[in-house]
Amino acid sequence: MINEYFMKRKILILALCSLIFVPVSAKVRVHTIGDSTMSEYKPAATPKRGWGMYLQAFFDADSVEVNNRGKSGASTRTFYETENLWPSVKEQFRSGDYLIIQFAHNDEKCKGEDVFVENERLRAEGKDTLTDMRGTEPNTTYKAYLFKFVNEAREHGVTPILMSPICRAYFKDGKINDEGRHKLAGTKELSSKEAAKVLRPKGIFDKDYVRCMREVAEDMHVPFVDMTAETKGAFEYLGKDYCMAHYFNCGDKTHTSAEGGLAVAMLAAYLLKETPLLEELQGWLMRPTDEELRAYAQRIEDSGKQAAFDAPGMSFTKSLDPARAVNMFGTKKGYLPAELEWLAGEIDEVANRYLEYELSAPKKKALVIEGITLPVKAKGGAGMNIHINYGFGDSFRDVTTVYENTALPKNKRLVVELTQPVLVPAGETIKIRVLPWYDSNGRPQKGKYLQLGELIVKGKQLL
């Protein structure tokens, strides 16, 4: 169906047919930063697929390596401020690389207001403050973080690309509504001080994240890719029923499935091809056949069905308790957020709220984790959700989501069993994080707890 949509854009298709490949001595990296609509997922863990998982299929693999660093739950603020996210991306930069920047979904958490500004107002009125710190105001904080990403990428010799976020499947009368294309209700009046920070005159502005990203691109002379307009056009052309059955069949209207993620990656490649100031990058773009795309997508699915490691080793079993509880509070009843309530409006993991387990390999011997078992229970309510991610080292790099449950049963013990093998190199530490959030039905929730048993790791130490 997405190819049928592209038949309406003949000029773009003709341009793709005339691609020229430029040989290079070393691979250029295309780094991607964004949220859950872009991020990596383990096929065995969830039906969600971020479009960044498929972008490599549209580049000459001998010349370009896509480094997808999208992160579930991230906003511009939390991605920039979290140690294992933006700082670790910068460590991977090489001069001549490219950086695709796509945020807004989680920046909208405070309904288009900056959460710190909103909390000042709530405190002044004697009201409870918000605990989800992701929200940014589009004309001020959101822009300010985009400026930071652009400037710091350029300091490393990296070419930044601002790409607006994909639409949510918020249809009304066959069209994607304003909220679906990241234009929220209400206006924002900038003070002189706020206006100066974002190079805009004092005045009243709407809460349009896409407009604000475009303005940053214009101010900073950065290539701008309007993915919001393109996905809006594609989704409306295909229609609500098709989109919900094929692209957004993961239980919500934000996250794409394998088919949807691949379609969005195709859109991204086509738009990069026709974006000014990217001539060198365009030389490495390619147009794979339908058969090649199916094979690439199947390899992603098969990656979740790895065979066991056959190297000889000594078996072990270890019981682990959480080594750290970050922004979580433990009681006899279980764990809940440090603020003692679950915030309204959370639809994805909160990157800076988790329980962490860790296991280190000997300095000269690698470990293979062959299985993980963890008893979990949602105490007090049926709205508990969790991700289980693993990463390596103090910077929690190479993050992979290996388990997702967006409907933990109320007051029922569930045993999570993971059987996909994971190699822990000699001298490395693997960290396993349980990240909970709660579907609060529009209001904060108290008296809801996540209970965890011992995490049992089975595997072998390689000889």
Query: Do both 232 and 101 map to the same domain?
Result: yes
Q: How confident is the model at residue 191 (pLDDT cuts 50, 70, 90)?
A: confident
Is the pTM above the cut of 0.85? no
Q: How far apart are CA 432 and CA 79, in angstroms?
A: 19
CATH number at residue 110: 3.40.50.1110
Contact (Cβ atoms closer than 8 angstroms) between residue 405 and residue 385:
yes
Q: Which of 259, 287, 305 is the last residue of a domain?
A: 305
pLDDT tens-digit series, residues 367-393: 999 999 999 999 988 889 999 999 898
- Average pLDDT for the chain: 89
Q: How confident is the model at residue 1 (pLDDT cuts 50, 70, 90)?
A: low
Query: Do both 298 and 387 map to the same domain?
Result: no
5-21 average pLDDT score: 44
Q: What was the pLDDT predicted at 33?
A: 97
Query: Do both 295 and 331 map to the same domain?
Result: no
Q: Which of 287, 305, 323 is the last residue of a domain?
A: 305
Q: How confident is the model at residue 16 (pLDDT cuts 50, 70, 90)?
A: very low
Query: Do both 225 and 293 map to the same domain?
Result: yes
Query: Do both 272 and 221 map to the same domain?
Result: yes
Domain count, the chain: 2
Q: List C-alpha distances in Å: 36 to 47, 57, 146.
A: 13, 19, 18
Contact (Cβ atoms closer than 8 angstroms) between residue 163 and residue 227:
yes
Query: Do both 301 and 367 map to the same domain?
Result: no
pLDDT tens-digit series, residues 194-225: 888 888 888 899 999 999 999 999 999 999 99
Q: What was the pLDDT predicted at 7?
A: 54
Q: What was the pLDDT predicted at 6?
A: 55
Query: Do both 215 and 352 map to the same domain?
Result: no
Q: What was the pLDDT predicted at 352?
A: 82
User: Side chain identity at 310, as an amino acid letter?
Assistant: D
Query: Do both 290 and 324 map to the same domain?
Result: no
Query: Do both 288 and 351 map to the same domain?
Result: no
Query: Do both 393 and 254 map to the same domain?
Result: no
Q: Which of 283, 305, 327 is the last residue of a domain?
A: 305
> Above 50 in pLDDT, residue 19?
no
Question: What residues make up the domain containing 69?
Answer: 2-305
CATH number at residue 418: 2.60.120.660
pLDDT tens-digit series, residues 213-266: 999 999 999 999 999 999 999 999 999 999 999 999 887 899 999 999 999 999
> Above 80 in pLDDT, residue 275?
yes
Query: Do both 162 and 286 map to the same domain?
Result: yes
C-alpha Rg value of the chain to the nearest Å: 22
pLDDT tens-digit series, residues 320-357: 999 999 999 999 999 999 888 888 777 788 878 999 99
Query: Do both 196 and 298 map to the same domain?
Result: yes
